[in-house]
A and B are shown apart, each in its own frame.
Chain A
Amino acid sequence: MGLAAVLPIDLAIGALVCWLLLGLAGLSLQGMPRLVSGAVFPAGALISLMVLVVGIWGAGQGAEAAVLPLGLPGLPFHLRLDALSAFFLALLGGVSFGISLFAAGYLRHMDGPTLGLLCLEYHVFLASMGLIFLADDAYLFMVAWESMALSSYFLVTTDHKIPDIRRAGFLYLLMAHLGALAILLCFGVIQGGHGDYSFAAMRGNHLSPFWATAAFLLALVGFGAKGGVLPFHAWLPEAHPAAPSPVSALMSGVMLKTAVYGILRVTFDLLHAPIWWWGALALGLGLLTALFGVMFAAVQTDMKRLLAYSSIENIGIILAGIGLTLLFHSYGETALAALTLTATLYHSVNHAFFKGLLFLGTGSVLNATGERNLGRLGGLIHPMPWVAMLTLVGTLAIANLPPLNGFVSEWLLLQAFLLTPGLPHPYLNMLIPVAAGALVLASALAAYVMVKFYGITFLGQPREERLSQAQDAGLWERAGMGWLALGCLALGLFPVFVIRHLDSAVALLAGGSIGATAAQSGWLFLTPVAPARASYSPLFFLLVIVAVVLLTFLVVRRLYHGKIRRSDPWDCGYPAQTARMQDTAEGFGQPIRQIFEPVFLMERHLPDPFDRQPVYRVQVGDRLWQWLYLPVARLAERLSSLIGRLHHGRIHLYLMYSFATLLFLLLFTQ
């Protein structure tokens, strides 16, 4: 077989198989942990790179299908690589390359057996995510989906000796299964009684609006539960921080995107002709999720939990984008739908890069200090300059600041919001531009959250003595984080190229694309609609700022001097300033707690003025937990205790149940 005959899909399948083999190799090499971390993980990173290339290459080709000789008898696995799959594969490859490199360094101190298992689970996790993007029948999709859920469950519970982590893992597994159930039902509805579960057959079905709506809602529930959409978010801030940091990065960066992929695949590809209120529902839910996530992120004291809540926010923004796309699509506004979808996909890949980067940054901090609590960190920019610098890139990116990548997608999405007055529905016309306010609020709050995150972790004085002895990250870690930071920069600076690569996926789903429009003023200026309407040039931005900075620096040096004297900070007349007098994480969250008080379930312990050892404690809980989860849990418990009455522990009674069932069934089939 010549090289020309190799199709992207073959390479993609090959890559997934390689991942599985690497996982097994890691398991069998338990005795040599150095080899596992130093060779298997970098090899996995190379495979990631291949997946990235395949994804970019495959997006340009037409859809290709393959049938594997595996699966149930008469029910082989169908695979297909179209532009949407290719986009998500590229995302998976691009992000996991950096994460695997990082993991090679991060995991080197782990003991052999744990590392071997972790290596297997990690690579199975990667391969199953790849398989989700390639699956072309519901059966294979569910197999991949469940293996992703299981492998990630085991990854989350790597430190299973800690009870909290076991609890988090259980909650995660529970939600994952509820979600999977909804997805299964959704596929059942879409196939419409024909019994053919391949996506090709589903695409051919034309459902009545009622059943299509049912399928959409089930998909929203099922994939929403995976993505942490309100009100199915409760597992996310528990599970994501519990995992080892590279795994958290993968879960937040890539696994959440499988939910995005699922919603897109089901609503745009399998179900045709969306109804407008689906879009309105998704939009509203997305905005609520975004606001909820960012408000809770602002009051967290654990740095990984903070990032997990911020993931909820970003998924909310992505869902809002999907909702708006649906709205435009249902009204036949192809160009607008294409613009919105581009923004949505762009934000997905952006979030994958910067959230991955930030989780890796917290991983390095955790590794160096053993501390996740923001209240015990501080001043790490001095002992860990590399990590601090690379994390700063991620921080600025996630705070939606130009010229980095977070801003581009936010900007595109806002443009889309401003174009709604073309819709033939007066309420939507008025409400959606106003809803853009919610998006802006969420992104401005994200900046608040990220200043808190970065400032308290890396800046200021160390809140504990030992922090100044922290070690900076090793070469592998720097390489992994550097790759992701570079990604953030490149995605931010060259939006026109990125959009051109998104085009085929957007055209597949929305029926139009904006790549040509976006580049009409040249590659330097991004013009999503028309040059007179809006344009943005991040590279120009960066160049001007850098030029002015250099120029000012030189001029000031030239005209004046560069004299510097070091001294103690100014104390404002106070006798001593200790590290304890800086703002804590709780202090930084206080304004948010006060302004949005009704949202939080707060438990506060205020010290008495006469306390010898005053203690201040505040705990912020989630009201939804109380209103939704606990009642459901209680109901489930009550039901199971009812059923539990059937259990007596006597064997012959159980045999009698079986006997009665058998008799009943025989009677029934007569």
Chain B
Amino acid sequence: MNQTAGILFQLGQSLLLVAVAPLWLGWVNQWRAWLQNKRGAGLFQPYRGLAKLFNKEALLAHRASPLFRATPYILFGCMWLAAGIVPVLATSLPYSPAADVIALVGVFALARVFMALAAMDVGTAFGSLGARREMLIAFLAEPALLMVFFTASLISHSTALTTIVETLAHKQFALYPSMAFASVAFLMALLAENARLPVDNPATHLELTMIHEAMVLEYSARHLALIEWASSIKLLTYTVIGIALFLPFGIAQAGDWSALPVAVGALLAKLAVAGPGLALLETLSAKLRIFRAPEFLGTAFLLAVLGMLTHFLLET
């Protein structure tokens, strides 16, 4: 396999992920509506929302600084980078070595810090409230998330995502009890980091409970569109990381182009199931009080640690 094909493939994969992220969000939202006995706005609603926002005239607060205007672009750039690194269809990605899982968490952290700073920029009460809560959730979720990745990396002796996925998907089939723990912990961290129920409610604008929405209150038009798009990419990226870690079966091996159609089919199937799953989870759970979140994420951390410990006992 030559280098150019690999680079093109990686570029294409990241483009694909960026392009379909709103679609997948639409799928999740549609299922959520169905589960709640509503009709739903259709699969393509996120695209329509984005198009509408892009066409509008941007409204900026008088006090908004350049940081505020740059943040949506930086956010979008970070998420694009993350989407490009995760092995989604195949593990042959020539530029995946640019970041391992720890660096991937770092990219998300970078985006988050910029978002929080931008939220504080205008100086409204809600902006700083949202920033504070977002950082609170983040510092609790990050250890749990990294512990999950550490468990996976202890199994595969690598922190590079491609190597982890290779090990889990293409070595002899094995049940990893540690990964069972880790998957639950990962799911909890995913919900928290993507501002989903039960930690945050993406559909609310109730002042006292919102986190992510409080941060983006001041954004409008194209800035808001980029932020919304970036958060849908983030959700999709997290989901495909989860799929790559816990259900990697079907992913194409390095250099094996013929396996690609199967990989596409497998990914679509997995995403199609994951959407309703996420929607169901969100429908069944109620939003936690903000100070229950430490307990929720503490449990996630604990599960990840237990996973790591069982790895030492049962799998070495």
Q: Hey, which bits of chain A sit against chain B, CB under 8 A?
A: 378-379, 381-382, 392, 396, 399-402, 407, 411, 414-415, 418, 421, 429-430, 433-434, 436-437, 440-441, 444-445, 447-448, 450-452, 454-456, 459-461, 521, 525, 527, 531-537, 540-541, 544-549, 552-553, 556, 559-561, 563-572, 577, 579, 581-583, 587-588, 591, 594-595
Contacts and interface: CB of A to CB of B under 8 A. Distances in A.
A80 to B, nearest CB: 38
10 contacts: A379-B63, A437-B301, A440-B147, A460-B121, A461-B123, A544-B84, A548-B80, A568-B62, A569-B123, A595-B291
B6 to A, nearest CB: 15
B268 to A, nearest CB: 26
Contacts of A569: 61-63, 122-124, 218
A565 B57 contact: yes
Interface in B124-171: 124-129, 131-133, 135-136, 138-140, 142-143, 146-147, 150, 153-154, 157-160, 163
A591 B146 CA distance: 22
A445 B65 CA distance: 26
B180 interface: no
A565 B60 contact: yes
A553 B69 CA distance: 11
A401 B132 contact: no
B76 A455 contact: no
Given A430-B312, A548-B80, A532 B143 contact: no
Interface in B85-124: 95, 97-100, 102-103, 106-107, 109-110, 112-113, 116-117, 120-124
B97 A444 contact: no
Contact of B58 (A399, A448, A534, A564): A564
B309 interface: yes
Contacts of A429: 312
Nearest to A455: B120
Query: What 8 pairs between A and B have smallest CB-CB spacing?
Result: A460-B123, A583-B128, A461-B123, A455-B120, A548-B77, A444-B139, A535-B97, A545-B77
A552 B76 contact: yes
A158 B222 CA distance: 52
B264 interface: no
B116 A559 contact: no
A111 to B, nearest CB: 36
Contact of B207 (A415, A553, A565, A572): A572
A565 B218 CA distance: 13
B308 interface: yes
Contacts of B284: none
B135 A447 contact: yes
Contacts of B301: 437
A430 B135 contact: no
A447 B109 contact: yes
B60 A545 contact: no
A545 to B, nearest CB: 4
Contacts of A461: 63, 123
Contact of B160 (A418, A532, A540): A532
Contacts of A378: 123
Contacts of B120: 451, 455-456, 459-460, 582-583
B7 interface: no
B316 interface: yes
Contacts of B63: 379, 382, 461, 569
B184 interface: no
A198 B98 CA distance: 47
Interface string B222-246: 1000100000000000000000000
A445 B291 contact: no
A34 B282 CA distance: 67
A160 B147 CA distance: 49
B116 to A, nearest CB: 5
A541 B98 contact: yes
A436 B74 CA distance: 29
B217 interface: yes
B77 A399 contact: no
Contact of A440 (B113, B136, B143): B143
Given A564-B58, A567-B60, A521 B97 contact: yes
A583 B129 contact: yes
B73 interface: yes
Contacts of A430: 309, 312
Nearest to A454: B117
A278 B56 CA distance: 63
Contacts of B61: 566-569
A396 B113 contact: yes
Interface in B34-60: 54-55, 57-60
B67 A566 contact: no
Interface in B193-225: 207, 217-218, 222
Nearest to B121: A459
Interface of B: 54-55, 57-63, 65, 67, 70, 73-74, 76-78, 80-81, 84, 95, 97-100, 102-103, 106-107, 109-110, 112-113, 116-117, 120-129, 131-133, 135-136, 138-140, 142-143, 146-147, 150, 153-154, 157-160, 163, 207, 217-218, 222, 226, 290-291, 294, 301, 305, 308-309, 312, 316
B123 A595 contact: no
B163 A451 contact: no
A588 B126 CA distance: 13
Given A434-B305, A583-B129, A459 B67 contact: yes
A546 B74 CA distance: 8
A536 B77 contact: no
B117 A402 contact: no
A214 B258 CA distance: 65
Nearest to B301: A437
B139 A535 contact: no
Given A402-B106, A567-B62, A533 B81 contact: no
Contacts of B133: 591
A359 to B, nearest CB: 20
Contact of B312 (A381, A421, A445): A421
Contact of A434 (B103, B107, B124, B308): B308
A549 B207 contact: no
B81 A565 contact: no
Given A433-B308, A588-B128, A535 B160 contact: yes
Contacts of B112: 447
B128 A460 contact: yes
A540 B226 CA distance: 22
Contacts of A401: 106, 109-110, 113
Contacts of A392: 67
A413 to B, nearest CB: 10
A218 B217 CA distance: 56
Nearest to B73: A549
Contact of B135 (A451, A556, A587): A451
Given A418-B154, A548-B80, A588-B128, 18 more contacts: A381-B121, A411-B106, A418-B159, A433-B308, A445-B139, A447-B113, A447-B138, A448-B139, A450-B113, A455-B116, A533-B163, A534-B159, A535-B100, A544-B81, A548-B81, A567-B59, A577-B125, A583-B128
A399 B81 CA distance: 20
Contact of A563 (B57, B78, B136, B305): B57
B77 A407 contact: no
A245 B154 CA distance: 44
A409 B43 CA distance: 44
Contacts of B97: 521, 525, 527, 531, 535-537
Contacts of B158: 532-534
Nearest to B313: A430
Contacts of B153: 418
Given A460-B128, A582-B124, A434 B309 contact: yes
B106 A533 contact: no
B132 A587 contact: yes
B141 to A, nearest CB: 8
B157 A533 contact: yes
A544 B104 CA distance: 14
Contacts of A532: 158, 160, 163
